[in-house]
Structure 1
């Protein structure tokens, strides 16, 4: 037997004794990476409803801006420039939310989001309902923006990580549009009946209390330990945080810029169209306040069908076709 034959035999014997490494993630990682479904575990059905309530509150807050702007200008004697700050201060709170949402998840879990987010709605709405001074209105809208940002980021990412999430994401976003559709109707009708504009925030306060109750109850068991277990990072994912990892991706920046422009245009159009109709077209504040309802109704329908269209057309054509539309 030649030396080469002996070496090959020994090599084959050694390879047969080595443990076989399975292709793909380990068993532990595979278990962790198994995605939830909208109905599995069964409690997810109720948790989804809780997130829908949250997005309806966020939408109602954003949708009522336009209907209230003429009354805010008259009540506080504000110029267009000064009243426009009501669109800026929530953005500041939203920015803060992007910086702390991951920290809240890691320290308090989804339970923390389910409590802090609604509280960031309840506390400001209590103050707004009492007709505070204009500087106080601007300051507390930062807190509203913080709550909106926390709920937006947390519940979007939770549902997006589910199996076949497109349809549920569409429904979630449709509830945002539903809230934005109803709030101008309710707000203008309350003002027409003789109530002051700030009384509308009692309505938002009541829904926000419901939001706190259902979210905190249904996500109570989702603490930091549960969150970290479900979002386990494999050993080959590097040592940085998820936020740092995402910031290194060009796709993150591309989508962020696109959404920055889109969301700014969306809320601005829905808000300023009322003041435009009053100041330029000399429309009545009440009738002009109803115009955003049509705009937000279109947003609701578009987002509701988006998930199903996304499955049909695929992900990449949608931003291009939506932008053209």
Structure 2
């Protein structure tokens, strides 16, 4: 009887995490088709649009910074429900936002929910997946990858739907997609989670955690890896169109292939990380991504398929880092996750500015108004993506050496 009860609770916990990651992927990636329509309706300039997205990224980072504290005060169950609820409410507010200030506030609220959700799901996963940690972490993040892959297609389709003469457009699309957050709220409400009813021992003081070299090496591995991962979505299509003259459909198809490789890797390669160890996995997979990206640049258009193959390697970095943290830090994992994810977010913002800056500098040095200058600038900029993957692997090697000397390799 006890076993049946345990399995039922565990199933509900899994449903909360899996559906949560699906919602997370949708909420972050439906903006692509919607942003041009939002810009047109509110008559936003490029700089105003950039400011909007930057403020939302700030909201995301703010939420990441305080969610671990709320988890200790409220419990993970209430935090998750609050995160999903704020996303559902933001969908309603976006639907009724006919002025730019209200839309900005509604969008900001959605990103607050996203930040809380990322930390909340990571903390819950770290508590639940005590066995086969690498496999389960990669599997759950695989659901995020799958929903991210189809989110732009679903959003585009929904915006064209007409009900009783009313076209949903971007407001109706956001309303429907974000109201899906109600589903995991129901699962979370009727479940219990680790940490709700038990004290898992003393926490490692925050100042001691910050003096741990392993934590900072993990920040480097994660930041360089995620910069490389996220930058592909922003730069691959642009590179293929301008450097090789590809049509938008073909370039977008290559990006979809990247996300497909990315999602399949997380779904099926998780057991490999458990078998060979998390530290070696980080070195191996980030190294594979770096080699694929650099080889694609050096080999030219005929090796462009390697841009997509790079997704196989870089996909594994984030969930494997989360698995490493769960295994090494145990009871203090929520604090460590907050520190690493927050610093990762800051690094991601800097990384994207760096890529754009490198493109401009190199383009000017080869002739700003020439095709050669454009090509070299784009190659150099995209090379930063490969370099970040390589630096992630280098940080992993340093981490491995450090842990090996102390016989603490995970």
TM-score, structure 1 length as denominator? Answer: 0.71
Cα distance, 1:151–1:191 mapped onto 2, change above 3 Å? closer
Q: Paired residues, what number?
A: 277
The equivalent position to 2:177 in structure 1, one of 204, 221, 225, is: 204
Q: Which structure 2 residue ranges, 5 or more long, are not aligned?
A: 162-166, 290-410
Residue 153 of structure 2 corresponds to residue 185 of structure 1: yes
Matched position secondary structure for 1:84: helix
Q: Cα distance, 1:128 vs. partner?
A: 1.5
* Aligned-pair CA distance for 1:248: 2.6
Which is higher, the Rg of structure 1 or of structure 2? 1
Name the residue aligned to 1:28.
Answer: none
Counterpart mapping for 1:14-53 below 5 A? 42-53=8-19
| 2:276 corresponds to 1:313 | yes
Measured in 2, the distance between the counterparts of 1:115 and 1:138 equals 23
Q: How does 1:17-166 map to 2 (within 5 A)?
A: 42-161=8-127, 162-166=130-134
Distance 1:84 1:225 in 2: 40
The structure-2 alpha-carbon separation of the partners of 1:43 and 1:263, relative to structure 1 and needing over 3 Å to count, comes to same
- Compute the displacement of 1:249 (Å): 1.9
Query: Residue 214 of structure 1 aligns with which residue?
Result: 187
**Greater RCO (Cα-Cα under 8 Å, separation 6 or more):** 1
- Give unpaired runs (5+ residues) of structure 1: 1-36
> In the alignment, which residue of structure 2 is the partner of 1:232?
201
- List per-residue Cα deviations over 1:219-272 (Å, max 9, x = no partner): 3xx59761xx24221xxx66x3xx444333222223224433443454454356
Deviation at 1:133, TM superposition (A): 3.3
Give RMSD over aligned pairs: 3.4
Instruction: Give the direction of change, closer, same or farther, for the CA distance of 1:190–1:322 in structure 2 (3 Å limit).
Output: same
* 1:187-225 deviation line (CA, Å, top 9, x unaligned): 112234564222211222331111222222223xx5976
Of 123, 132, 135 in structure 2, the residue corresponding to residue 167 of structure 1 is: 135
Deviations 1:7-37 (A, max 9, x none): xxxxxxxxxxxxxxxxxxxxxxxxxxxxxx9
Higher relative helix content: 2
Contact 1:71 1:197 in 2 (8 A): yes
Aligned-residue offset at 1:143: 2.4
